[in-house]
């Protein structure tokens, strides 16, 4: 059967691919340590589960409006006001089947053939493919390791052309854990004010931050940009709710309406039960987040120290999210047996096949000198996995 030309640039998500490979090895009885996970390893808090159970018992199990229920939209408006000092009305909110779905629908709603979208690299794996699926072209701007994996206003400015329609900003970042300070956001904002570029601000790791870092949305820092920004967030990471599939977007009412129309012609509403659970997550006690972040922080410090002690590795200390993203180019050109390490993929394969450790090669993130390790796994696994990686890397010569 023929596949449409639209699929020419589309790849499966590499992070999901590594997880699937590791799972298949585990199923064959192999003791695999997985650092591929893109989700917290904690359980969804009880009060959130209970709200879902209650909603089933209440018979709240039918279609809702395609773009989400009014009471959830109100809870989202209250959250954006409380945490981000951003004022929105429910008509400016769209609830989707995960933040990924919101991001996809933004691309469909605002991008068209010939448009360009600026994406800083290393980037979250799905951004370029979502841009391609909308017929547009990703324009990649490399954020340098010496700038802590953040792009500068000059680099942003240099990438803008008359075709630029959108700019993706993901702070804190998956995969690097880099996060822009208020001052850095102000300087990026200066480049964007007065243009008609839409800022797609992916704030999914807003709550998972360390070392006293203060999170800011670019729309908060520069109020002139609020009408030019679509804020994307969700409950997957903050409340350990990846399987519930609820994310949301906040932005100008006309774009939100267009996105809701796309949903009404494709997925229809996000799950009614998960929407009720999300209200409980947003309006309920928030101490579950502190507990999770405290635990992530211990693992983060341990993992970064261990990675920096491996010869040929150099690891930036992440400010947010739950990934370490070491530069591994110091081992390029080395060998062990049949394995020659010359890029992130060959190291990924070497570690999986020889010591059964699953990491994600940086190629899919636009960074072939790096690998990504998630610390959303137990301290015991982290210790064991890093011992194995160290042993494997020391065997290279």
Ligand X SMILES: *Cc1c(COP(=O)(O)O)cnc(C)c1O
Residue numbers at the binding site for ligand X (CB under 6 A): 38, 98-100, 124, 170, 174, 202, 204, 234, 236-237, 242, 247
CB atoms within 10 A of CB 12: 11
Q: Which is nearer to ligand X, 38 or 364 (CB)?
A: 38
Q: Which is nearer to ligand X, 48 or 393 (CB)?
A: 48
Residue 259 φ/ψ, nearest 5 degrees: -65, -40
Name the residue nearer to ligand X (CB basis): 203 or 368: 203
| Complex with ligand X: residue 300 or 334, whichever CB lies closer | 300
Taking the least distance from each CB to ligand X, the nearer of 329 and 370 is 370
Nearer of residues 124 and 149 to ligand X, judged by Cβ:
124
Which are the contacts of 189, defined by CB distance < 8 A and separation ≥ 6? 218, 221, 222, 224, 225
Q: Please, are residues 207 and 173 in contact by the beta-carbon 8 Å criterion?
A: no
Q: Which is nearer to ligand X, 151 or 204 (CB)?
A: 204
CB of 283 to ligand X, least distance (A): 19
The least distance separating ligand X from the CB of residue 200, rounded to whole angstroms, comes to: 10
Distance separating the N- and C-terminal Cα atoms of the chain: 47
Smaller CB distance to ligand X: residue 44 or 356?
44
Helices (H), 28-69: 46-57
On the CB side of 154, CA atoms within 13 Å amount to: 2
Whole-angstrom distance, CA of residue 395 vs CA of residue 334? 9
Is-contact 128 134, C-beta < 8 A?
A: no
> Could you tell me how many residues make up the chain?
397
231 vs 34: CA distance, rounded Å: 31
In angstroms, rounded to a whole number, what is the distance separating the alpha carbons of residues 10 and 364?
Answer: 12
Minimal distance, residue 357 CB to ligand X, in Å = 21
The tokens describing 192, both together, are: 């964007």
Q: CA nearest 133: which of 255, 21, 13? A: 13
Q: Residue 72 CB, nearest distance to ligand X (Å)? A: 14
Please report the sign of the dihedral spanned by the C-alpha atoms of residue 299, residue 302, residue 308, residue 311: negative
Q: Shortest Cβ distance from residue 176 to ligand X (Å)? A: 11
Shortest Cβ distance from residue 364 to ligand X (Å)? 13
CA atoms within 13 A on the CB side of 215: 24
The least CB distance from residue 201 to ligand X, in Å, is: 11
Q: Which position's Cβ is nearest ligand X?
A: 98
Closer CB to ligand X, 237 or 276, in the complex: 237
- Output the CA angle 71-248-65, nearest 5 degrees: 50
Shortest separation between residue 170's beta carbon and ligand X, angstroms = 5
Contact 159, 191 (CB under 8 A): no
CA neighbor of 79 nearest in space, from 207, 241, 226: 207
In the complex, what is the shortest distance from the CB of residue 24 to ligand X, in angstroms, rounded to a whole number?
Answer: 22
């Amino acid at each position: 059967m023929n596949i449409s030309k639209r699929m020419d640039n589309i790849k499966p998500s590499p992070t999901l691919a590594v997880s699937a490979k590791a799972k298949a090895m585990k199923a064959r009885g192999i003791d695999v340590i997985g650092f591929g996970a893109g989700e917290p390893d904690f359980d969804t808090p009880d009060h959130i589960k209970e709200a879902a159970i209650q909603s089933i018992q209440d018979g709240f199990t039918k279609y809702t409006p395609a773009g989400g229920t009014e009471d959830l939209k109100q809870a989202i408006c209250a959250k954006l006001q409380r945490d981000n000092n951003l004022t929105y009305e429910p008509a400016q909110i769209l609830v989707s089947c995960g933040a990924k779905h919101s991001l996809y629908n933004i691309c469909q709603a605002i991008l068209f053939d010939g448009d360009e979208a600026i994406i800083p690299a290393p980037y979250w794996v799905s951004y370029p493919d979502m841009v391609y699926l909308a017929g547009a072209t990703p324009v990649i701007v490399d954020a340098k390791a010496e700038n802590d994996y953040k792009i500068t206003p000059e680099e942003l400015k240099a990438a803008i052309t008359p075709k630029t329609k959108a700019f993706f900003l993901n702070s804190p970042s998956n995969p690097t854990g880099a996060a822009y300070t208020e001052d850095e956001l102000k300087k990026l904002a200066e480049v964007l004010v007065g243009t008609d570029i839409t800022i797609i601000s992916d704030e999914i790791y807003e709550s998972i931050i360390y070392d006293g870092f203060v999170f800011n949305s670019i729309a908060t820092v520069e109020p002139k940009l609020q009408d030019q920004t679509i804020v994307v967030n969700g409950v997957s990471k903050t409340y350990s709710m990846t399987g519930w599939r609820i994310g949301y977007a906040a932005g100008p009412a006309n774009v939100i309406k267009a996105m809701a129309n796309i949903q009404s012609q494709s997925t229809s509403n996000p799950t009614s039960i998960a929407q009720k659970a999300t209200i409980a997550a947003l309006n309920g006690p928030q101490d579950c987040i502190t507990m999770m972040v405290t635990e992530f922080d211990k693992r983060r410090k341990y993992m970064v120290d261990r990675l920096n002690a491996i010869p040929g590795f150099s690891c930036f200390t992440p400010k947010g999210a739950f990934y370490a993203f070491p530069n591994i180019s110091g081992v390029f050109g080395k060998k062990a047996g049949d394995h020659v390490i010359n890029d992130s993929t060959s190291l990924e394969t070497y570690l999986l096949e020889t010591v059964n450790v699953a990491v994600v090669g940086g190629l899919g993130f636009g960074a072939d000198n790096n690998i990504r390790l998630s610390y959303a796994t137990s301290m015991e696994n982290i210790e064991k996995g890093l011992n194995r990686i160290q042993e494997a890397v020391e065997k290279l010569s």
